[in-house]
Amino acid sequence: MLKLRKRSSRTHTFHMTAQIIDGKALAAEVRAEVAQRTATLKASGITPGLAVILVGDNPASQVYVRNKVKACTDCGMHSVLEQYDASMSEEDLLARVQSLNADPSIHGILVQLPLPAHINAQKVIEAISPAKDVDGFHVASAGALMTGLPGFLPCTPYGCMKMLEHINYPLKGKHAVVIGRSNIVGKPMAMMLLAQDATVTICHSRTPDLKAHTLQADVIVAAVGRRNLVTADMVKPGAAVLDVGMNRNDAGKLCGDVDFEGVKEVAGYITPVPGGVGPMTIAMLLANTLQAATNR
């Protein structure tokens, strides 16, 4: 009979919890820098201006647009919020966009999504002048990102990249797994990681074995909108985990796609929700608006 030798010495596992990337603090730094550069630009006679259009009365959208407009004015920019009834016609909305395209006091135009079902959102986005496309959703901006040309980067993945830059994360040669393939988060995120020489895998709802992919990842970006999608057993020890998701838990509290409590025991870096990617998104919108004004 084979006798198994008992291990006499105890094995020690040295365990450290993840470093939390404080999106709120980093966003404040970005906003302070934007404010300073806005002041300089204003001294030369240009006040960066952002126009935000909201159609309908989606309560979440109302909070977002108010936050965006307030963030603009807080850092010294000019900002206008145009609110319209849900019954606004596509034609009228397109006409508003055209008139903002021609308005020299406006450098950035943002149409809050989602739009009412009778309006073709992509058509409206394509009506925005690419020079004022501070959300980075125009096909010209997407094409520029794809081909490595300068253009506006979508704010959420741009904010994620800022967070990785902040921790000096060496992306070159690393394996990044992006979960989600939307035009506003997943796809541009993958392109930005690729541009920094990461090897990128994009997972989505038809990916059969998500865990098999995430376990290989040095960087995980979760952008799905499903609570507890990423759990500790799916994460390689030391990985950087960025949580873009915005969900509510049973108590109605904001939470991400990542099981924060579990994953922070395994990951090397993790972003919290709230206080992670969310504040960075607004900060990068300000950075893009400043950029648009500077480009003029």
Would you name the residues annotated as active-site residues? Answer: 68, 112, 135
Judge contact between 218 and 236, C-beta under 8 A.
yes
Minimum Å gap between C-beta 155 and ligand NAP is 7
Asked if 277 is part of the footprint of ligand NAP (rule: CB under 6 A), the reply reads yes
Minimum Å gap between C-beta 92 and ligand NAP is 26
Rounded to whole angstroms, the Cα distance separating 237 from 119 reads: 46
Minimum Å gap between C-beta 142 and ligand NAP is 14
Nearest residue to 89 (alpha-carbon basis) of 137, 65, 123: 123
Asked if 225 is part of the footprint of ligand NAP (rule: CB under 6 A), the reply reads yes
Burial 44-54 (b: 16+ CB within 10 A, else e): eebebbbbbbb
Nearest residue to 280 (alpha-carbon basis) of 22, 79, 63: 22
- The SS3 of residue 241 is strand
Nearest residue to 161 (alpha-carbon basis) of 244, 258, 76, 68: 244
Task: Give the footprint of ligand NAP on residues 146-175 (CB under 6 A).
Answer: 156
Asked if 291 is part of the footprint of ligand NAP (rule: CB under 6 A), the reply reads no
194 CB-near residues (< 8 Å, 6+ apart): 200
Asked if 249 is part of the footprint of ligand NAP (rule: CB under 6 A), the reply reads no
The nearer residue to ligand NAP, 42 or 166, going by C-beta atoms, is 166
Minimum Å gap between C-beta 274 and ligand NAP is 9
Choose one: 27-35, 67-75, 193-201, 273-281; the region binding ligand NAP (CB under 6 A).
Answer: 273-281
Give residues in contact with ligand NAP (CB under 6 A). Answer: 156, 179-182, 184-186, 203-207, 210, 223-226, 244-247, 277-278, 281
